Amino acid sequence: MIKKKLLDLEQKFPDVTVDYYCVMPNHLYFVLFKEGAHAGAPLHEIIKWYKTQTTNEYINLVRQGILPPFDKHIWQRNYYEHVIRGENDLYEIRKYIEENPLKWFYDKYYQK
Protein backbone atom coordinates (compact mmCIF):
# COMPACT_ATOMS: atom_id res chain seq x y z
CA MET A 1 0.00 0.00 0.00
CA ILE A 2 2.83 2.42 0.83
CA LYS A 3 4.55 1.71 -2.50
CA LYS A 4 1.32 1.85 -4.52
CA LYS A 5 0.29 5.21 -3.06
CA LEU A 6 3.82 6.54 -3.66
CA LEU A 7 3.63 5.59 -7.32
CA ASP A 8 0.12 7.08 -7.48
CA LEU A 9 1.74 10.48 -6.94
CA GLU A 10 2.65 10.52 -10.63
CA GLN A 11 -1.02 10.25 -11.65
CA LYS A 12 -2.28 12.74 -9.08
CA PHE A 13 0.48 15.28 -9.78
CA PRO A 14 1.47 15.17 -13.49
CA ASP A 15 4.56 17.33 -12.89
CA VAL A 16 5.99 14.77 -10.41
CA THR A 17 8.12 11.71 -11.13
CA VAL A 18 9.10 9.19 -8.45
CA ASP A 19 12.74 8.53 -9.27
CA TYR A 20 14.00 6.22 -6.54
CA TYR A 21 12.52 4.83 -3.32
CA CYS A 22 12.87 2.33 -0.52
CA VAL A 23 10.09 1.27 1.85
CA MET A 24 11.44 0.33 5.27
CA PRO A 25 9.48 -1.21 8.17
CA ASN A 26 9.16 2.13 9.97
CA HIS A 27 10.10 4.79 7.42
CA LEU A 28 10.31 5.61 3.75
CA TYR A 29 12.92 7.17 1.49
CA PHE A 30 12.17 8.55 -1.93
CA VAL A 31 13.42 10.96 -4.57
CA LEU A 32 10.88 13.05 -6.42
CA PHE A 33 11.55 15.04 -9.56
CA LYS A 34 9.24 17.99 -10.02
CA GLU A 35 9.02 19.83 -13.34
CA GLY A 36 9.15 23.58 -13.10
CA ALA A 37 10.20 25.36 -9.96
CA HIS A 38 6.83 27.02 -9.44
CA ALA A 39 4.49 24.83 -11.51
CA GLY A 40 1.91 22.52 -10.03
CA ALA A 41 1.33 21.74 -6.37
CA PRO A 42 4.00 22.70 -3.83
CA LEU A 43 5.91 19.89 -2.13
CA HIS A 44 4.07 20.22 1.19
CA GLU A 45 0.74 19.65 -0.61
CA ILE A 46 2.13 16.57 -2.36
CA ILE A 47 3.36 15.12 0.94
CA LYS A 48 0.06 16.01 2.66
CA TRP A 49 -1.90 14.18 -0.05
CA TYR A 50 0.37 11.14 0.26
CA LYS A 51 0.09 10.97 4.04
CA THR A 52 -3.70 11.40 3.88
CA GLN A 53 -4.12 8.67 1.25
CA THR A 54 -1.95 6.16 3.11
CA THR A 55 -3.58 6.93 6.46
CA ASN A 56 -7.07 6.47 5.00
CA GLU A 57 -6.05 3.19 3.39
CA TYR A 58 -4.54 1.97 6.64
CA ILE A 59 -7.74 2.85 8.53
CA ASN A 60 -9.75 0.87 5.97
CA LEU A 61 -7.47 -2.14 6.47
CA VAL A 62 -7.81 -1.83 10.27
CA ARG A 63 -11.61 -1.85 9.91
CA GLN A 64 -11.34 -5.02 7.83
CA GLY A 65 -9.21 -6.66 10.53
CA ILE A 66 -6.19 -6.92 8.20
CA LEU A 67 -3.88 -4.50 10.04
CA PRO A 68 -3.59 -3.69 13.75
CA PRO A 69 -4.93 -0.38 15.07
CA PHE A 70 -2.46 2.45 15.55
CA ASP A 71 -2.02 4.90 18.40
CA LYS A 72 -2.60 8.57 17.49
CA HIS A 73 -0.67 8.94 14.21
CA ILE A 74 0.80 6.77 11.48
CA TRP A 75 3.13 9.46 10.16
CA GLN A 76 5.35 11.84 12.04
CA ARG A 77 4.38 15.48 11.70
CA ASN A 78 7.35 16.66 9.65
CA TYR A 79 9.53 15.22 6.92
CA TYR A 80 13.07 15.75 5.69
CA GLU A 81 13.58 17.35 2.33
CA HIS A 82 16.74 18.05 0.39
CA VAL A 83 17.17 19.87 -2.91
CA ILE A 84 19.42 17.76 -5.14
CA ARG A 85 22.25 19.85 -6.48
CA GLY A 86 23.70 17.92 -9.38
CA GLU A 87 24.47 14.42 -10.61
CA ASN A 88 26.94 13.58 -7.82
CA ASP A 89 24.42 14.58 -5.16
CA LEU A 90 21.75 12.45 -6.87
CA TYR A 91 24.15 9.49 -7.08
CA GLU A 92 24.97 9.72 -3.35
CA ILE A 93 21.31 9.95 -2.36
CA ARG A 94 20.36 6.96 -4.52
CA LYS A 95 23.27 5.00 -3.04
CA TYR A 96 22.16 5.88 0.49
CA ILE A 97 18.59 4.77 -0.27
CA GLU A 98 19.79 1.53 -1.85
CA GLU A 99 22.12 0.64 1.03
CA ASN A 100 19.76 1.64 3.84
CA PRO A 101 17.99 -1.75 4.16
CA LEU A 102 21.35 -3.31 5.02
CA LYS A 103 21.46 -1.09 8.12
CA TRP A 104 17.98 -2.02 9.38
CA PHE A 105 19.45 -4.53 11.82
CA TYR A 106 21.13 -1.62 13.65
CA ASP A 107 18.02 0.58 13.80
CA LYS A 108 16.73 1.22 17.33
CA TYR A 109 13.27 0.09 16.17
CA TYR A 110 14.52 -3.14 14.58
CA GLN A 111 12.27 -6.16 15.12
CA LYS A 112 12.52 -9.60 13.59
What is this structure's pTM? 0.84
Average pLDDT for 58-66? 95
Query: Which residues have a Cβ under 8 Å from the Cβ of 50 and sit 6 or more positions away?
Result: 5, 6, 9
Q: What percent of the chain has pLDDT over 70?
A: 94
Binned at pLDDT 50, 70 and 90, residue 108 comes out as: low
**Helix, strand, coil shares, percent, the chain, to 5:** 45, 15, 40
Binned at pLDDT 50, 70 and 90, residue 106 comes out as: low
Binned at pLDDT 50, 70 and 90, residue 44 comes out as: very high
Question: What backbone phi and psi angles, to 5 degrees, belong to 37?
Answer: -60, -35
